[in-house]
Structure 1
Amino acid sequence: MDDHRRLGRELELFDTDPLMGAGLPYWLPDGATVRHVLEEYVRGLERAAGYRHVYSPVLGKRELYEISGHWAHYGDDMFPPMRLGGEEVVLRPSLCPHHALIYRSRARSYRELPLRIAEVGGMYRSEPSGVLGGLTRVRAIQLNDAHIFCTLDQAVEEARGALEMIARAYADLGIRPARHRLSLPGEGGKYVADPALWKRATALLREVLSDLGVDHEAAEGEAAFYGPKIDVQIADPAGRESTLSTVQIDFHQPERFDLRYVGADGAKHRPVMVHRSVVGSMERVVAHLVEQHRGAFPAWLAPVQLVVLPVSEEQRPQARALLERALAQGLRAELAGPEHGSLGARVRAARLVPYQAVIGEREAAGDLAAARLRDGSRPGALPAGELLRRIGERVDARGAELWAAA
């Protein structure tokens, strides 16, 4: 079985250190590159769908989480407060209270709705030591999160759009969902006691799933404390399930924060808050992708997309020129010269890189490069510009295929 904890260290994507603490991994350069590409990809999807991006602090006053309900319903999973002067501040367990404050920072009109606010932001969970591991269970989380403030009439369409965006991202990333789950409340004091709220939000989510024809299973005791949610489940190579992406409809926090907008009738109305995460936390999605692709990431996501291999020192100038052209084109490229060993050793060392460009004496004389692909195929010697064009097209296509016919 390919465990992301072993692969992640072997591939030098991430690591941990006792002095940083359990559940607090750090990202190495190649892992940071994958994460950055994912973040920019999701931001691009969101921008195209009309989202606006914000940054918000990872700390908030204890009072903020008392208002949101986290302190009463989620307090066991939060880090203890820190004294700051005469106040208590807390590492946030989620981003939604901050986005609610951003919404209410000024008066809002129905003409602004739906208002879609997105952020890749840090949050912190006080996970027990016994459940921590790799990137899947951590205490510091970077979440691809967003909150849509909309009218009641817009809520189903917005939640449907979020679920469609999740499906688009999964297709580009090669992620296969295990199932969709409608997560409902269970017994006990973990959940907000408002039966009408739960009934109304659940009915809207059922409508979303029905509209899209998505098969799903209902599961009691899996909801957020403030409302039901659609969970997109993934499975690791051992078949263990976890939640990656979510869509939630929330009537609770707009009430708690007294959120308002002025309607067409001139009166004040309460917005609905749709929570959604397209790829979940950066930690969990990278862990899943590492295990799924075994380090051979799709070309558009690979930490290094092209390695240039001069056969000898005599071809280094031509190899350097090709490298510079690749970098100028926006490709993530590196040069591996003879100082790193024989050509065969360098080819093997770069076995997970999607594209290799070998430059020998003949290629250097004709501004050519002999292309090798990660799957073992060899398209042969091509003009350098042609090779870079073809690689760029495949990267832009975000497909699984490394090469396309001319």
Structure 2
Amino acid sequence: MHHDHRRLGRELDLFDTDPLIGAGLPYWLPDGAAVRHALEEYVREVERRAGYRHVYSPVLGKRELYEISGHWAHYSDDMFPPMELGGEQVVLRPSLCPHHAVIYRSRPHSHRDLPLRMAELGPMYRSELSGVLGGLTRVRAIQLNDAHIFCALDQVRKEAAGALELIRRAYEAMGIVPARYRLSLPGPGGKYVDAPELWQRSVALLREVLDDSGLPYESAEGEAAFYGPKIDVQVADRAGRESTLSTVQIDFHQPERFDLRYIGADGARHRPVMIHRSVVGSVERAVAHLLEQHGGAFPGWLAPVQLVVLPVSESERSVAEALAARCAERGLRAEVAGPDRGSLGARVREHRLVPYQAVVGAREAADGLVALRLRDGRRLAPLPADEALRRIEHLIGAHSTALWEEEPRPGSGAESRS
């Protein structure tokens, strides 16, 4: 069955659009914001553990910034028109890399600082034609999980391979299987930077990274960025339509344009290489694909509501509300669906996409237990409430796609494998 994220996202109250805000400018409702926040927090944390430092940069830049970067010459058709401000022209940025190049340039760097990994979850803007806009996949305001690694030439292969590994781990946590890996090369036409030697070097490096990884890949002409080739991680929806989610790019062009330098071990000034990479791509496109992939049944750590407490009767409501409050204290997203919302069976069906349903009847309320129903239809024997929450919290904290794991027996060795 094909799930259309545009229909499903509205039905599940994740996002919507309004003509007064404009085409290609969706707004996020509370449940959608919860999914987005969970995804952003995940990627920030995996980047931090991988040695990235996070920055913030403005959404505007002077036209001159994009003239230096090459965006104005090669990409201006996709940019919003400049705004006059105090005798200067400023532009909504179409990408984050020029800002990061300027941030790098703002401080002196030594070879001991490299690789310098700079990350940002930041907004950018593309002047997409109204005919191609749709849902979350093609939008005009994009929240991008972006990063730029400034490194020496002999560090490029290791850093690009590290970025591919972050992407692999993220896809595993999100329950996404890539459709294919693509080496995106320049094609005929004038939209690319005219520097044949730099293109040859960067293409050769990316081929080595892909060959070393053992991943199967295909080459595609005409799909490169204007400043360099890239590895594109392609995903497909259930109808087989393909799109790019994550990328790794090697760029010799912008370090030269911005005259980026570092002092080498020999005391001389050297030019760094700039690796552009995105682990989950734009938040909008990632959530669109997750919706279509999972039909709204997100992995537990991404679900907008992770646990719903179902008191059998009004007599158990106060116990149910106390349990939901304990969930909130532990960082779990929980809500109570009481008898005023229908029979127990009706409430179970209404919350069929919630990973965990905790049924609280008279016996459970009296003994401090919960009877868990899992989204996949399994019903578990009643457990002490704290134990149930601890085990759910463990799976969610591990960004697991599993709904439940039996406790390992002491001495079984399962602890070391998990």
TM score, norm. by length of structure 1: 0.99
Q: 1:140 — aligned with what?
A: 141
TM superposition shift of 1:326: 1.4
**2:29 partner amino acid:** L
Q: 1:236 — aligned with what?
A: 237
TM superposition shift of 1:323: 1.3
| Residue pairs, 1:4-403, within 5 angstroms | 4-403=5-404
TM superposition shift of 1:386: 1.5
**What is the CA deviation profile of residues 345-365 of structure 1, one whole-angstrom value per residue up to 9, with x for unaligned ones?**
221111110101111111111
**2:47 partner amino acid:** E
**What is the CA deviation profile of residues 321-368 of structure 1, one whole-angstrom value per residue up to 9, with x for unaligned ones?**
211221111111111122222222221111110101111111111111
Q: Separation in 2 of the partners of 1:38 and 1:399? A: 13
SS at 2:246 equivalent: strand
SS at 2:168 equivalent: helix
TM score, norm. by length of structure 2: 0.96
Determine if contact 1:357/1:372 at 8 Å carries over to the other structure. yes
**What is the CA deviation profile of residues 188-222 of structure 1, one whole-angstrom value per residue up to 9, with x for unaligned ones?**
11000010010010011011011111111111110
**What is the CA deviation profile of residues 288-344 of structure 1, one whole-angstrom value per residue up to 9, with x for unaligned ones?**
000000000011111111011111121112112211221111111111122222222
Determine if contact 1:372/1:380 at 8 Å carries over to the other structure. no
TM superposition shift of 1:394: 2.0
Q: 2:413 — aligned with what?
A: none
TM superposition shift of 1:281: 0.2
**1:381 partner amino acid:** P
Determine if contact 1:100/1:254 at 8 Å carries over to the other structure. yes
- Identity rate, percent: 76
**What is the CA deviation profile of residues 147-175 of structure 1, one whole-angstrom value per residue up to 9, with x for unaligned ones?**
00000111111111101111111111111
**What is the CA deviation profile of residues 124-164 of structure 1, one whole-angstrom value per residue up to 9, with x for unaligned ones?**
11111111000001111000000000001111111111011
Q: Separation in 1 of the partners of 2:213 and 2:126? A: 33
Q: Separation in 2 of the partners of 1:291 and 1:48? A: 29
Q: Separation in 2 of the partners of 1:71 and 1:397? A: 43
User: CA RMSD of the aligned region, Å?
Assistant: 0.9
SS at 2:109 equivalent: coil
**1:29 partner amino acid:** P
Q: Which runs of 4+ in 1 moved over 3 A?
A: none
Q: Separation in 2 of the partners of 1:243 and 1:53? A: 24
TM superposition shift of 1:371: 1.1
**2:221 partner amino acid:** E
Q: Separation in 2 of the partners of 1:21 and 1:116? A: 36
**What is the CA deviation profile of residues 67-120 of structure 1, one whole-angstrom value per residue up to 9, with x for unaligned ones?**
000000001000000001111000000000000000001111111000000001
Gaps of 5+ in 2: 408-418
Query: Aligned residues, how many?
Result: 406
Q: Separation in 1 of the partners of 2:38 and 2:94? A: 25
TM superposition shift of 1:387: 1.2
SS at 1:20 equivalent: coil
Gaps of 5+ in 1: none
Q: Separation in 2 of the partners of 1:375 and 1:171? A: 19
Q: Separation in 2 of the partners of 1:397 and 1:46? A: 16
Q: Separation in 2 of the partners of 1:6 and 1:24? A: 16
**What is the CA deviation profile of residues 259-312 of structure 1, one whole-angstrom value per residue up to 9, with x for unaligned ones?**
001111111110000000001000001000000000000111111110111111
